Amino acid sequence: MDELLRATGVCKHYVLGDTCIEVLKGVDLGVVRGEIVAVVGASGVGKSTLLHIVGGLDHPASGTVVIDDVDLFALSDTDRAKFRNRQIGFVFQFHHLLRDFTALENVMMPLMIAGISSDEARVPAQKLLRDVGLEKRLAHLPSELSGGEAQRVAVARALVTKPAIVLADEPSGNLDVARSAELHALIWELARTRQQTCIIVTHDQHLAARADRVVEIEDGRLVA
């Protein structure tokens, strides 16, 4: 099978005063192209930490992360940021939209950062916002959107560069039950129709159960 991601021996610790807290203790994770993997576990076990390292947002104490044959931490900070912008899409618990920009402009932003003109970026951004049911909200600012709508914009933004992998960290954690169900359905529909590789950190067992594979972090390590 075509393995897209391989994390090997990933360790992470934090030092608080005289105490060293080991969060990840040699995590190994492989994800094949087109696979959706759910990561579950108790609060505070390192799920988000693992996602941030896999996405190149945080450095491991040791270990490697290879995405599409690129060793993330062998890259310079600048090159890793460029790779992250084009090849990794992020959806967080809070949407992190730029408050002074419209929904359309927020989705266009990753393409424009990559050097694509605003005219060229507008077309795929508009299409994705239509795909997530927000064709009538293109000109709205984040403050004018509901929580569920803002998360839909965040999903569109994560997908607009056609990334190799999408990383979602409790994407519905800030929504009520009804909006969570809607967002979950949307994520699955888009992921399946696009054959999008995804890693989703979640505490929602119903969401996790729909993944191709579920792995759990326990005592700093992954267990199937």
**Strands 221-223, 213-218: parallel, antiparallel or unpaired by DSSP?**
antiparallel
- Is residue 59 assigned to a domain? no
Structurally, how many domains does the chain consist of? 1
- Is residue 157 assigned to a domain? yes
- Is residue 98 assigned to a domain? yes
- Is residue 23 assigned to a domain? no
* pLDDT in 10s for each residue of the chain, 224 residues: 689 999 999 999 988 888 888 899 999 999 999 999 999 988 888 899 999 999 999 999 999 999 999 999 999 999 999 999 889 999 887 778 888 999 999 999 999 998 899 999 999 999 999 988 898 999 999 999 988 899 889 999 999 999 999 999 988 777 777 788 888 888 888 888 888 999 999 888 888 888 899 999 988 888 87
| CB contact at 8 A, 29 and 20 | no
- Token reading at 192: 């399946």
- Distance in angstroms (rounded) separating the CA atoms of residues 169 and 129: 21
CA atoms lying within 13 Å on the CB side of residue 45: 19
Domain ranges, residue 83: 33-52+75-223
CATH number of residue 187's parent domain: 3.40.50.300
Let me know the angle formed at the C-alpha of 126 by 120 and 129, rounded to the nearest 5 degrees: 145
Tell me what pLDDT residue 1 has: 66
Tell me what pLDDT residue 107 has: 95
